Chain A
């Protein structure tokens, strides 16, 4: 009896020791960074669900070479400060192999130096600030830079013969980078009204009042969240301003159409194609999570980031530098959002843009906009 007990004990001790060996067995920890609370939370919820879907599928199929993936999610609230402390925790406490995140560009930019120092690969599914391009060697994104998006927007505006743009921008990394890069691509002389407001502002009445005295062709609500954009559009229309409007990814939100259906009617949206919509991916996603809060495209980019990462780990092992080198040199990955690879800055190559519009509260695609790849 005692002998048996002892042998059992030693066996369990052995297993324990094997586990502690870390590195090559046991679960592979992957971190997630994103806004799970606050105005930007719909992006966080959608991308986290996209990652979860990928992880569940990979684990159900036996994991990566038999090792399960363990997801560690941290709420970084769309702010740099929260993202930095969350990244510290993921890297130093949880010792994750790689991170999917951040979602807001401010999160990605703040977490970048931390993952860079630790040699941990970070792939952002939705950060689009041009600043992310040079954020570091270990920082990747499978979402196109706004530097390209503003080019697409400027090209469309010129094509339509619209030369006077009025814009109100929220003071966040994403919106400010977009503003700067649109000014460059569309020409400062073509922007007739350019105001910046505090993040989260919801009273735009006085700015809308001032807009009544400005002659403009098209209005660009450059907000960080759909909650703020809804307030902007609603108050603009309440002042009787009927001009056409155009915006970016943030407008590509079902919630916006529900909050301000009349105000956003006919508004143009320049965004990456609604990847994953109507396909197998959306069906799986809706079945599991009951639909996207912002857009299925965010979930699709996150799903692909996780799928790509799993494939990289399977090929080169759970080593940060090896994964990084693999991502720079890999052949294009066929994901839900399309076939893509990375350029030398870790920016995505191979995805295009589309022009969409609100029609009776629903988002419809108008056409594709061709853009040249990064200079």
Chain B
């Protein structure tokens, strides 16, 4: 049983990183970024390239991957989101789908079709309270927690964080109070792209990267933010972990008189549970109707 929770933590940390940033973007701009999965993968691939091809130390490669992710999201914001989102908030939906296709092509061109692993080979595992976990996974889980804690601190205990929350709650009111909303939007978008890149790097270290992963990453992140409530950062992060836990529980414990649910239904079961929750609470599991973020 402990193992199931550990498994959920591993899968959930990946989803939480990506969903967290996305939730802020959705909260402030209200736009969908459908190229998020590709941006995550490219961050991972950049790290892979720096570490496996240029043989730079892992830490520098990870920083490089993050930097690349930030640059890519900045570029995405300036070219594919900023010129469009004020005209209609669904326009970036189309432009970022186009971008996702372009990025798919670029990934194939630069990194080829074969799977790539940033740290190939078996990782040493430990027994922690009856669950097996590798040092890399512990590091990743802890780092994710630290990142999210830092996020929480910035958001709730700094003037900058207060400005972000103000923009999320009411952009026009915030602007009339002298908060530079456009600048904040840009920063938040780049931040979300960098967090996605973090997720891609995580995936590349823990498992492997292949070009087809992108869409699944995007969809899971959206499931988490919708289930968590629009623009509700902590809701999105909690839901990312919750979906991961549901996925593990769905197939990891015997249901209904000892029979296991077939693993093919793993994702279906998790998402079906989310839909049932949403039917009962349409604003999301944590969605207060007025206050958010």
- Chain B residues, CB < 8 A from A51: none
Q: Which residue of A lies closest to B131 (CB)?
A: A209
- Chain A residues, CB < 8 A from B211: 37-39, 41
* Pick from A44, A205, A260: contact of B122, CB under 8 Å: A260
* Pick from B132, B260, B267: contact of A239, CB under 8 Å: B132
User: Are the C-beta atoms of A205 and B248 separated by less than 8 Å?
Assistant: yes
Total contacts A-B at CB 8 Å: 117
- Chain B residues, CB < 8 A from A197: 263-264, 266
User: Are the C-beta atoms of B266 and A201 separated by less than 8 Å?
Assistant: yes
Known: A195-B263, A210-B260, A260-B121. A240 touches B132 (CB 8 A): yes
- Chain A residues, CB < 8 A from B121: 260-263
User: Are the C-beta atoms of B208 and A227 separated by less than 8 Å?
Assistant: yes
User: Are the C-beta atoms of B120 and A240 separated by less than 8 Å?
Assistant: no
Q: Is B144 an interface residue (CB 8 A)?
A: no
Q: Is B207 an interface residue (CB 8 A)?
A: yes
Q: Is A109 an interface residue (CB 8 A)?
A: no
Known: A39-B113, A201-B266, A230-B208. A209 touches B120 (CB 8 A): no
Known: A209-B252, A238-B132. A42 touches B212 (CB 8 A): no
* Pick from A42, A168, A198, A263: contact of B113, CB under 8 Å: A42
- Size range of the interface on A? 35 or more
Q: Is A207 an interface residue (CB 8 A)?
A: yes
User: Shortest distance in angstroms between B271's beta carbon and chain A's nearest beta carbon?
Assistant: 12
Q: Which residue of A lies closest to B3 (CB)?
A: A209
Interface mask (B194-228 → A, CB under 8 Å = 1, otherwise 0): 00000000000001101111001000000000000
Bound Cα distance from A196 to B262, whole angstroms:
7
User: Are the C-beta atoms of A41 and B134 separated by less than 8 Å?
Assistant: no
Q: Is A57 an interface residue (CB 8 A)?
A: no
Bound Cα distance from A39 to B216, whole angstroms:
14
User: Are the C-beta atoms of B264 and A198 separated by less than 8 Å?
Assistant: yes
Q: Is A45 an interface residue (CB 8 A)?
A: yes
Interface positions of B from 123 to 161, Cβ below 8 Å from A: 123, 125, 132, 134
Q: Which residue of A lies closest to B134 (CB)?
A: A238
- Chain A residues, CB < 8 A from B208: 202, 227, 230-231, 259
- Chain A residues, CB < 8 A from B212: 38-39, 200
Interface positions of A from 41 to 61, Cβ below 8 Å from B: 41-42, 44-45
Q: Which of B3, B104, B120: most chain A Cβ within 10 A?
A: B120
User: Are the C-beta atoms of B7 and A206 separated by less than 8 Å?
Assistant: yes
Bound Cα distance from A231 to B191, whole angstroms:
30
Bound Cα distance from A36 to B105, whole angstroms:
11
Seen from chain B, the residues whose Cβ lies within 8 Å of a Cβ on chain A are 3-4, 7, 10-11, 104, 108, 112-115, 117, 120-123, 125, 132, 134, 207-208, 210-213, 216, 247-248, 251-252, 260, 262-264, 266-267
Supplied contacts A210-B260, A240-B125, 11 more A-B pairs, CB within 8 Å: A38-B211, A200-B213, A203-B11, A205-B10, A210-B251, A230-B207, A234-B207, A238-B122, A255-B115, A260-B122, A261-B121
